[in-house]
Amino acid sequence: MRIIGGRYKRRRLKQPPSSSTRPTRDRVKETLFNMLGPIPKGRVLDAFAGSGALGIEALSRGAKAADFIEADTEAFNVLEQNLETLGLISDTQLYEVEAETMFETLEGPYDLIFLDPPYGEGRVEASLEAIARRMLLASDGRIVALHYSLEDPLPKGDLRIYKERTIGVTGVTIYEWSG
């Protein structure tokens, strides 16, 4: 897996050895970053981070800082190694805990939030609910959710769907505040 744009373009990232994480394919990453357009210069949250590919891509493209949440120890160690290799560790906060637990204690707002949980477990909807309830998203921020294409995660609270696409079995849905 590699970084596809920005300052660290073409740099390779390590992958967790465990089967508990699913790498985000380059084609999916390219599509979702094209859908987003310019990356906000503010804070990013990469929940269910795995190797950190999405948050690192955002940092490569100009985000100022990123927080990463990953509960799997093997994936967390790889995430930490990827950030250290790129010299990004000082621009980040790392949390080795379940994302839903961390949503209750995080201090927002975030300009961009990535949700890439295991498919088919309803975790996107639960995460959207927590993010809306805790006001973790900036007023002009966006949430990018990756999910199984046959799932249709519904926005929660005052969130609405901004854009959506399907790439193979992966659905990409971008949310924003409806007001």
Domains contained in the chain, number = 1
Question: Whole-prediction pTM value?
Answer: 0.94
Sign, CA torsion 47/53/58/59? positive
Higher pLDDT, 154 or 67: 67
Q: Is 108 helix (H, G, I), strand (E, B) or coil?
A: coil
Q: Is residue 19 part of a domain?
A: no
Q: Is the peptide bond before 109 cis (omega within 30 degrees of 0)?
A: yes
Q: Is residue 166 part of a domain?
A: yes
Q: What are the φ/ψ torsions at residue 79 (nearest 5 degrees)?
A: -55, -50
Q: Using one digit for the tens of pLDDT, what is the confidence trace for 139-169?
A: 999 999 999 888 777 776 789 999 999 998 8
Q: What are the φ/ψ torsions at residue 111 (nearest 5 degrees)?
A: -80, -25
Q: Is residue 168 part of a domain?
A: yes
Q: What are the φ/ψ torsions at residue 147 (nearest 5 degrees)?
A: -155, 165
Q: Is residue 34 part of a domain?
A: yes
Q: Look at residue 145 in the predicted model and tell me its pLDDT.
A: 94
CATH assignment of the domain containing 116: 3.40.50.150
Which structural domain range is residue 65 located in?
6-12+24-177
> Would you place residue 122 in the very low, low, confident or very high pLDDT band (cuts 50, 70, 90)?
confident
Q: Look at residue 161 in the predicted model and tell me its pLDDT.
A: 92
Average pLDDT of the residues in 109-130? 92
Q: Which two tokens stand for residue 109?
A: 């707002």
- Residue entry with tokens 């929660």: 156
